[in-house]
Amino acid sequence: MQAKNEKLRGELTRVENAFTDYREKYEIQVGLVTELGQKTAEVARLTEERKKLQEDLGALQLSMTPVEDEPEAARGLTTR
């Protein structure tokens, strides 16, 4: 009877340790999923910001394009 109890205690300890291990892994996984969601939102925001900056750059480059009969001194200036 005592040997059986010792065996069951050992099994209980093994199960408790496995449960603790899985709980810790679950908490880590939840943290990673949360961080992934935050990073995904940040990437979307930065992608939109990049798109707007590229549009601004395109408009600026277009405004700096030389026009016909423009004096050399005025080239490259945005206020012609």
pTM (two decimals): 0.61
Closest CA to 76 of 68, 65, 67: 65
CB 49 within 8 A of CB 41: no
Tokens, residue 66: 């030389």
Closest CA to 77 of 67, 69, 68: 67
Q: With cut-offs at 50, 70 and 90, classify the pLDDT of residue 79.
A: low
pLDDT value at residue 10 = 97
Q: With cut-offs at 50, 70 and 90, classify the pLDDT of residue 75.
A: low
CB 72 within 8 A of CB 57: no
Q: How many residues does the chain have?
A: 80
Measured distance CA(54)–CA(57) in Å, rounded:
5
Which range is least confidently modeled, 5-9, 12-16, 30-34, 70-74?
70-74
pLDDT value at residue 63 = 82
